[in-house]
Chains A and B, each alone.
Chain A
Amino acid sequence: MGAAQGAHGQAQQQSSISGYVRDAESGETLIMATVVVEGTTIGTAANNSGYYMLTALQPGSYVFIATYIGYQPLRKEIELAPGEEARVDFALLPEGVMLEEVVVSAEADEEEERTRIGTTRMSTRQILQMPAILEADVFRSLQLLPGIKSSSDFSSGLYVRGGGPDQTLIMLDRTTVYNPTHVFGFFSTFNPDALKDVQVYKGGYPARYGGRLGSVIDVYNKDGNRQQMAGRLSIGLLASRASIEGPVGPGSFMLALRRSTMEPLLAALRETEEGIPDKFYFYDLNGKLNIDAGKNDRFSLTFYGGSDRLGIVPAEDLSIQMMYGNRTGSLNWTHIFSNRLFSNFTFTGSRYFSFPKFKFGGTNYDQQNQVFDFSAKADIEYVPNGRHAIEAGVWAGNLILKYSETFDESAEFSSRIASQYASAYVQETWRPTYHWMIQGGVRANAFSEGGFVRLEPRFSIERRQNERLRFQAAYGRYYQFLTLITNEVFSGMDVWLTTADGVPPAWGDQFILGVKTALGKAYRLDAEVYYRTMEDLFELDPNLGNVSGSDYEDLFRFGDGYAYGFELMLEKGIGRLNGFAGYTYGNSRRRFAGYNEGRFYPPKYDRTHEINAVANYDLSRRWRVTAVYSYATGQAYTRALGRTQYEDPFTSNPADEIINGRVNASRLPAYHRLDVGFTNMGRFLGLGDYELQLQVINVYNRRNTWFYTFDFEENPVRRETVSMLPIVPNISFTLTF
């Protein structure tokens, strides 16, 4: 241990240690696992490949401890010779699996990366345990975290720290996903069975990411079990899932399929109800193949394919056909040059498509909407010593947006935007002492459509007061070259548009202050305050008339905005009773020229106060109960103050007009809901372990208001309330073998 005391002392004869941190049962790498030298302040976090590097260690005997949330810490005694570059992998056992000789006393996990400012993570286990509206869902689970909001019960869209859904970069295995939804936005596109890790950067995200004003959701698929074949079957009310994984050659594979299973229900409904779709299903398929080509090289090929299809004939001479979805793929090569230099090279491909077709009264309306994004990226991490870590990378690609509308067999609008983009970043993390961590970086972006080049400085500083208390601050500038045309209740026709001449990129600054504490062994209490600006926002003009022949910049309206807030999160990660509770105070404002008399207004999803609490309690070895409670200030809406009527010369009837007050200056009634789930676990006919989930969403049947409509057939006009979800039961059965 004497060597450890002066681990970062002299340059000569220094040793280093590096390796992967894995799940002992499956061989899955554990992203952001922590490796520390016992009894010292020396430690590091594994990167997104699960690889850690500890350098500039004095030769001698060390005890290294690897930890990861949900896993038993693992300690290893290593003797480092002078100049040795030791390769030591850690294989951690999940909690609940006992193996006495490697078990050390469990303490609250001190995950280095998770405690970074603006960052949070959610385990797939947590996602699968939560009561779910028909189907376990990644984004709906993320909506429970402080600072992340939903627009309604019907949307899985993420509204992070006052930003809209397009301000969040969503990546699957390093590949951008452009429409991460199923069922037209009701669910997110990610199959939780296929996922290994979900990282959330709510704000102040580091220089290795870019392209969005607000936040990043970085999702990684499982590599597949390297030890043995394993599978999982799950049957639910909405969809069923099947996955298989196992070793293959010098590597592993994973295949996960999910498909909706509503056809019998729809067929039964069609017997008695009108307007039930003739066809409605969605599916997704995730796959990954890993090849370990020696100890320093790994290749992985990953793909995703998912689609939603709807066919409905609601009336005579009226038909609607919808098809939308995503395809993504990536080829990744991880190469370890040395114990100090780690690299990753990726080729990505992403396609989003949407092909709605309407036929009404003998008239056809078709949309052809596609996004193609092919890119290459390279990232390196260099750790010269224990005080410095340097990350750098480049990312370049070709983005093609194709959109056309055909009305009555005539081309109404056609657009093809092909833009090349490139970015490069460098970031240094400097730890001058145990107490201080300073990270500075810069990212340069170039976007050919409009010819924009922009620089984004990023900076963060952390004062680690002691093992249990950290103070943090961060600043970053962010640019966004894309905007999304979407509808909060229907994502199947989402359209992306880019900057161009006359349409400059949106940009914003983010300022964050945070404090992270560990309260005892089990509890963590984190608080953050943020302020962010949004400049040069561009979005489709909602009052666009006929756009044929219009200049591109005339499609948009331009504005600005800001958001600020405070987030508090109390988490208990271990014990029979575990979970988290979060509180968010948030304010977001927008302003667009010529709209709302030029005043700032809150977007609809602005919620001043929001409380979410998730609790899991293990009643016994076979029973677990989970409860989720949510409370939020009612969403902003525009109150109708008056009315009038016009003798419209173009229609048979007079046209009614509602006279609105200030935009979104009123609030709907407060939102609250309690969901409860019971899980029964055990062995199923000797085939494997089962989980039977019985869940009730909205236990006390709170009819939360979604929006108001007005019935002008009544005089005085009658305001009607459209409610969100009533009480919904859910049942699912999962078999793991």
Chain B
Amino acid sequence: MYRSHTYLLLGLISVALVACDSYEQDEFVPEVVVESYLVAGEPLPEVRVSVTAPISSRYTFENFGVEGANVIVNLLGEEGGVEESYSFVEESRGVYLPAEESAVVQPLRRYALEVRVPDRNDVVRSQTLVPGHFEMDTVSGDTIVYQSAVQLEARITNSIYPGRKSYYLFTIEAEDTLNYGLTPFYADIIDEDDGMSKSDLVRNSSGITNENDFTRHGDGTLSLKLPWIGIAFYGPNTIIANAIDDNLYDFKRSQMGGSSSPGEMDNLLDHVENGRGVFGSMVRDQLTVFIAEPEE
């Protein structure tokens, strides 16, 4: 009887082990990284081209920037054909500037990036559709007392993005960090010993909002109160509203989200063929407000 037990157990173990599949860890392979942010109404921006570095390497962009790349940005027509083609020249290692400075990014137009890197056969490609134009104004005045009853409120005309609602990112940039100090929350969390300094807080970004987060008015405009947490410095601050394209939306949301397991971050979502990175576009408007320190 005990022999039959043994055979049975061995049989069960065998079934389990035979069913084993393999899922091996892959190895590091350098990939081309492209980065460029088109802003509607502004000249074509630089395109940065680099390769990924092994995790154990000392990293500087200069060390991993790609020399001798052939960089082209095409303005596409409605049918997808090339309407205009803009070539780029290498300004420094890995940094490419438009050969002609006169080209201006147009809203609601599609641009295509093509990068050819020496010794690589695959062309790195990406496309972006630039969001539609919008304007921003403030309805809460030019000066606001920090954490007072009157909160910074921005009013915008809605940007258009074909096929979906508009997504926005707000950036708040302190204009005078020499003469004005940090707001209490940031003053307390800043830890110079831990590598965090005031300069890290000069430009703050909100999470992604969409037009459903705004109050919609009868004239079609939208308004949104900006949370106090976005204000890191007293004094003059520039509020920049950015309507972003799909590439930036995916890039930023994957930067902010990802795995819920501790210590793990998923790879960022990108739309780059034969490489990685971001070829994004946005349209933006800005205004300046003065954040006054509340009286004691």
Residues of A within 8 A of B (CB): 315-318, 360-363, 407-408, 410, 412, 466, 469, 471, 486-489, 513, 515, 517, 525, 527-529, 531, 542-546, 548-549, 564-566, 568, 585, 587, 589, 595, 599-602, 604, 637-647, 649-653, 655, 657-663, 665-666, 706-710, 713, 715-717, 719, 722
Looking at the complex, which one of B30, B184, B263 makes contact with A317 (CB distance below 8 Å)?
Answer: B184
Name A545's contact: one of B203, B205, B242, B253 (CB within 8 Å). B253
Known: A549-B210, A659-B267. Is A489-B171 also a contact (CB below 8 A)? no
Q: List residues 44-65 of chain B with CB under 8 A from any CB of chain A.
A: 48, 50, 52-61, 64
**Which residue in chain B gives the minimum CB-CB distance to A487?**
B260
Chain B min CB distance to A206 (Å): 22
> Hey, which chain B residues are within 8 Å of A568, CB to CB?
9
Most B-side CB within 10 Å, residue of A363, A486, A637, A706: A363
Per-position binary interface string of chain B over residues 63-85, scored 1 when its CB falls under 8 Å from any chain A CB and 0 otherwise: 01000000000000000000000
> Measured between C-beta atoms, what is the minimum distance from A164 to chain B in Å?
11
Given the known inter-chain contacts A585-B16, A661-B25, A665-B24, please indicate yes or no for A544 contacting B185, CB distance below 8 A: no
Interface mask (B201-221 → A, CB under 8 Å = 1, otherwise 0) = 111110111111100000000
Q: Is the CB of B210 within 8 A of A527?
A: no
Q: Is B139 an interface residue (CB 8 A)?
A: no
CB–CB A659/B24 < 8 A: no
Q: Looking across the interface, which residue of chain A has its beta carbon closest to that of B196?
A: A713
B169 at the interface (CB under 8 A from A): yes
Structural contact, B59 and A715, CB atoms closer than 8 A: yes
Closest-CB distance, B43 to chain A (whole angstroms): 15
Is the pair A587, B20 in contact by a Cβ cutoff of 8 Å?
yes
A657 and B25 contact, CB distance less than 8 A: no
Q: Kindly name the residue among A315, A528, A543, A549 whose own CB sees the greatest number of chain B CB atoms within 10 A.
A: A543
B186: chain A residues at CB < 8 Å are 361
- Given the contacts A546-B209, A604-B261, A660-B265, A716 and B26 also touching, CB distance less than 8 Å: no
Q: Is the CB of B50 within 8 A of A650?
A: no
Among B13, B58, B183, the residue within 8 A (CB) of A716 is B58
Across-interface contacts of A722 in B (CB, < 8 A): 262-263
Interface size class of B (residues with CB under 8 A): 35 or more
Given the complex, which residues of B lie within 8 Å of A531, measured CB to CB? 19
Q: Once bound together, how far apart are the Cα atoms of A640 and B265, in whole Å?
A: 9
Given A515-B5, A644-B59, A650-B205, 17 more contacts at CB 8 Å? A317-B185, A318-B185, A318-B189, A362-B228, A408-B227, A513-B12, A542-B260, A546-B213, A546-B253, A548-B210, A549-B165, A564-B16, A601-B23, A641-B26, A641-B55, A644-B52, A707-B262
Interface membership of B178, Cβ < 8 A: no
Q: Complex Cα distance A657/B258, Å?
A: 12
Q: Are A544 and B257 closer than 8 Å at their CB atoms?
A: yes
B167:A545 contact, CB within 8 angstroms: yes
Do the beta carbons of A544 and B28 come within 8 Å of each other?
no
The 8 Å CB contact of A515, one of B9, B184, B195, B249, is B9
CB of B55 within 8 A of CB of A717, answer yes
Chain B interface, DSSP helix/strand/loop, else mixed: mixed
Specify which chain B residues have a CB less than 8 angstroms from the CB of A565 in the assembled complex: 16
Complex Cα spacing A717 to B195, Å: 14
The reply on B119 being an interface residue by CB < 8 A is no
- Least CB distance from B105 to A in Å reads 14
Q: Are A665 and B54 in contact (CB under 8 A)?
A: no
CB distance from A446 to the nearest CB of B (A): 32
B243 to chain A, nearest CB (A): 13
CA A488 to CA B261, docked complex, whole Å: 6
A475 to chain B, nearest CB (A): 16
Listed A/B pairs (28) with beta-carbon separation below 8 Å: A316-B187, A361-B186, A362-B147, A362-B227, A363-B229, A469-B5, A545-B167, A546-B209, A548-B212, A564-B19, A566-B16, A585-B16, A601-B23, A642-B31, A642-B53, A643-B54, A643-B57, A644-B50, A647-B35, A650-B205, A652-B202, A659-B55, A659-B267, A662-B24, A665-B23, A707-B262, A715-B58, A722-B262
* B254 lies within 8 A of chain A by Cβ: yes
A639 CA to B24 CA in the complex, in Å?
A: 11
State which residues 162-180 of B face A: CB under 8 Å. Answer: 165, 167, 169, 171
Query: Cα distance A8–B97 when bound, in Å?
Result: 94
B64: nearest chain-A partner, CB-CB: A644
Contact A716 B57 (CB under 8 A): yes
A513: chain B residues at CB < 8 Å are: 12, 15
- The reply to whether B12 and A469 contact each other, CB–CB distance below 8 Å, is no
In the complex, B102 has a CB within 8 A of chain A: no
Q: Does B121 contact A (CB under 8 A)?
A: no
B16 A548 Cβ-Cβ under 8 A:
no
Docked CA distance A713–B261 (Å)? 22
Q: Which residues of A sit under 8 angstroms from B213, Cβ to Cβ?
A: 410, 412, 546, 548
Query: Chain B contacts of A318 at CB under 8 A?
Result: 185, 188-189
Interfacial chain A residues near B225, Cβ < 8 Å: 408, 410
Chain B neighbourhood of A486, CB < 8 A: 260
- Chain A contacts for B61, CB-based, 8 A: 645
Taken together as a complex, chains A and B put the C-alpha atoms of A371 and B186 apart, in Å, by: 36
A600 touches B23 (CB 8 A): yes
Nearest-neighbour CB distance to chain A for B286, whole angstroms, equals 13
- What chain B residues lie within 8 Å of A527 (beta carbons)? 8-9, 12
Verify A716–B56 contact, CB threshold 8 A. yes
Q: Which residues of A contact B234 (CB under 8 A)?
A: none
CA–CA, A488 to B22, complex, Å?
26
Once bound together, how far apart are the Cα atoms of A566 and B59, in whole Å?
46
B96, CB-defined interface residue at 8 Å = no
Whether A640 contacts B201 in the complex (CB less than 8 A), given A363-B228, A585-B17, comes out as: no
Taking the closest CB of chain A, its distance from the CB of B126, in whole angstroms, is 14
A593 CB → nearest B CB, Å: 13
B200 at the interface (CB under 8 A from A): yes
From known contacts A543-B257, A642-B28, infer whether A363 and B23 are also in contact, taking CB-CB under 8 Å. Answer: no
